[in-house]
Amino acid sequence: MACRLSEIVVDARDPEALAAWWAEVLGYRVLSREDGAVEIGPEAGFGGPAPTLVFGPVGELAPTGGRLHVDVNATDRDQEAELQRLLALGAVPADVGQTGDEGWHVLADPEGNPFCLLRSRLDPL
């Protein structure tokens, strides 16, 4: 038996605001709040088919950034339409050394955390 990815933890200066932003992007809802951290996820909650995201408060973010990032795929539109939606929500293009020939877009959330919008469309949960 293998492990399953259950949650992704993200350091945040403002956990409430960043959790709300990612909840809007992913169609998630707030699952819990504890000790300043905010956990969001799909309706199934923790242990369901998709991992939850936990935004934990930190005073200062690491200057080199995190060692993990989130990849997302559109579920009900093509990549270009989803890119426009994410930009309208406040994502910004990010340069992490990509060539421009990739099949994905590298963006940053409102706190500068990089994430990628992949090309393929996935079925919604």
Evaluate if residue 75 carries a pLDDT over 70.
yes
DSSP conformation class of 52: E
Q: Is the pTM of this model over 0.85?
A: no
In the chain the domains, ranked by start, together with CATH numbers, are 1-58 (3.30.720.120), 69-125 (3.10.180.10)
Query: Between the CA atoms of 38, 44, 50 and 54, what dihedral angle is there, to the nearest 10 degrees?
Result: 10
Q: Which helix (H) or strand (E) element contains residue 43?
A: none
Calpha distance 83→117 (Å, rounded): 7
- Tens of pLDDT, residues 14-56: 999 999 999 999 999 999 999 999 999 999 888 888 899 999 9
- In the structure encoding, which two tokens stand for residue 80, read together? 């270009």
